Amino acid sequence: MEIVGGVLIFLAVVTVPVGLMGLVSPKTVSPKGKPPLPRVKILWSFTLAFLVFGIAGGALVGRSQPSKSARNDSSPSLTAEPSSQATTVDVNPHAEPPAPQLPTHNYVMRDGDLYGYQPAISDAERNQGVATKALVMVRYRGQKNDVYTVEMPNDTGAIYRLECKSPCEYVKTKIILGGEVLKSETVPNAPGSLMAAVFDDVLSDQLQPAVVRSRVAGNRSKGG
């Protein structure tokens, strides 16, 4: 199409000057030895040349417009919407929930300055149908002269006292009644035992020492 338009424009460019010359002087465009061409024919040729020029120019303009529109369509849009992938949150439905934090102490409950420990059930007790046992309540008396002291009070008024030095591989046990030591012995601190669980909490600062109030201070408070 561009070639045809170029040829038509070339013919029109050649024909227009010839037509102008014919209108001014018919003899210059007439064949030799023949009478000059009538001005009407020259005018028709001149008009035809302009018509051809207009058709050729329209064809070339129409050819260039689709090319420009195609280039405009192929160029990226500056107002294009942002990709939805940029705002998509990657949520894994099969992700495992975070593991619950395990307690850092061995006691199962606390009541004031008393800490409750769950004793283990032996095979013999399990065979007898024992499903659970009462908690063993412990009171931590603190540290003195590098000795950690723990007491297990009971309803009889007797005190079962446990004493050891770090790392508490061996524990001295005492049974005290009315301020008098009835029995004392030293035993290994067996791993996995209730005694081992208590002193693990003692050495890791999980137990708070019980406040000891003197009898003198108590009597003064009563008398005052």
Question: What stretches of 79-146 adopt beta strand conformation (E)?
Answer: 109-111, 114-117, 136-144
User: How far is Cα 163 from Cα 141, in angstroms, rounded to an integer?
Assistant: 10
78-87, 172-181, 187-196, range with the lowest pLDDT = 78-87
User: What would the two tokens of residue 48 be?
Assistant: 């035809």
Longest Cα–Cα distance of the chain, Å, equals: 164
The pLDDT of residue 197 is 96
The pLDDT of residue 224 is 47
Question: What's the CA angle centered on 207, arms 204 and 210, to 5 degrees?
Answer: 145
| Portion of the chain with pLDDT greater than 70, in percent | 53
- Tens digits of residue pLDDT in 23-80: 556 566 556 666 665 666 666 665 666 666 666 566 655 555 555 555 555 555 555 5
What pTM does this model have? 0.51
Average pLDDT over the chain, rounded to whole?
76
The pLDDT of residue 39 is 61
User: How far is Cα 170 from Cα 166, in angstroms, rounded to an integer?
Assistant: 9
Q: Are strands 136-144 and 159-164 parallel, antiparallel or unpaired?
A: unpaired
